[in-house]
Structure 1
Amino acid sequence: MLTVKPRLREILKGRGLTQGQLSEMTGIPQASISRFDKNEQHLDWHLFSIAKALGVTVEDLFEIEE
């Protein structure tokens, strides 16, 4: 069984960015970014927009444990 957890908080912290700044970079409402970070909701286009804005892959946004 796979366990998948978002790594967004860790990535943002490492780059000195806030959810609000990421919201401005992507056009995604900050509340939606917060829901993603809490593993509550993942809209496909949000994942791709966040990954593109941060210069990472979609897979990089998650910690995957088997």
Structure 2
Amino acid sequence: MNLQIKPRLNEILTERGMTQKQLSELSGVPQGSISRFDKNSRHEDIHLFSIAKALGISVESLFEIVVITE
């Protein structure tokens, strides 16, 4: 079983009418780190928890997870 995991942060922010800058201010996570997470290039665990807490959602909700069976 393989998993395909991609961030949903841009989708979540769009649904809420928020910007990365607003999320940065709310979560205490630098805007650059939020941008890197959203591009799926890099993230730190503590930032994921801070972002999820600021948005009032679970860490798992920050991702789209697809199970690939072959």
In the other structure, the counterpart of 1:38 is 39
Q: If you compute each CA radius of gyration, which structure gives the higher value, 1 or 2?
A: 2
RMSD: 0.5
Structure with the higher strand share, 1 or 2: 2
User: 5 Å matches for 1:1-66?
Assistant: 1-66=2-67
What's the TM-score, normalizing by structure 1? 0.98
Task: Give the ranges of 4+ consecutive aligned residues of structure 1 lying more than 4 Å apart after TM superposition.
Answer: none
Q: Distance in 2 between matches of 1:11 and 1:5?
A: 13
Secondary structure of 2:10 counterpart: helix
Q: Which runs of 5+ in 2 are unaligned?
A: none
Give the fraction of aligned pairs with identical amino acids, expressed as a percent.
68
Deviation at 1:50, TM superposition (A): 0.3
Q: Which runs of 5+ in 1 are unaligned?
A: none
